[in-house]
Amino acid sequence: MAKNTEIERKFLVRSTAFLSESTAKHEIVQGYLNKEAGCVIRVRICDNQAFLTIKSNKLRQGIARFEWEKEIDVEDAREMLMLCQPGIIEKTRYIVGRWEVDVFHGRLDGRMLAEIELSDEQEYFTRPDWLGKEVTGQPEYNNVNM
């Protein structure tokens, strides 16, 4: 796999049964400084850490995307969030084995999405019972579009 590559699949979540399997949770606030088609710049605060991330589908094929991420100062990130385009996202992320399950708050309250990162597009993975329909590649389920 090429450096700075993310391969993930995304699914709707049918129930909160994943909660009993969760081993950790994180509070996340994120916004987008740039939402250009095919390339986004995101600011994220996750608990007591902050990150600046660039994601793009312009350099990779299939579901693989370019992803560059660097940790930044939390106070800088709070200031950058005020510069973000409308649509700040608030969510709780639960860690369930290899899965990350996001439960959204605020204007997206009640939406639940699960993601799994893969080493290649053909990698086999087990689908938990609480997993719903796959929405990988459907733009309306990308955080940047919500």
Strands 99-104 and 89-96: antiparallel
Q: How many CB atoms lie within 10 A of CB 50?
A: 22
Among residues 62, 64, 61, 55, the alpha carbon closest in space to that of 7 is found at 64
* Pairwise CA distance, residues 25 & 100, whole Å: 9
Among residues 144, 50, 146, the alpha carbon closest in space to that of 107 is found at 146
Could you give the C-alpha distances from 83 to 30, 43, 45, 88, 128, in angstroms and in order?
12, 10, 14, 11, 38
Q: Which of 32, 94, 124, 141 does the annotation list as catalytic?
A: 32
Reply yes or no on whether 32 is catalytic.
yes
Active site residues: 32
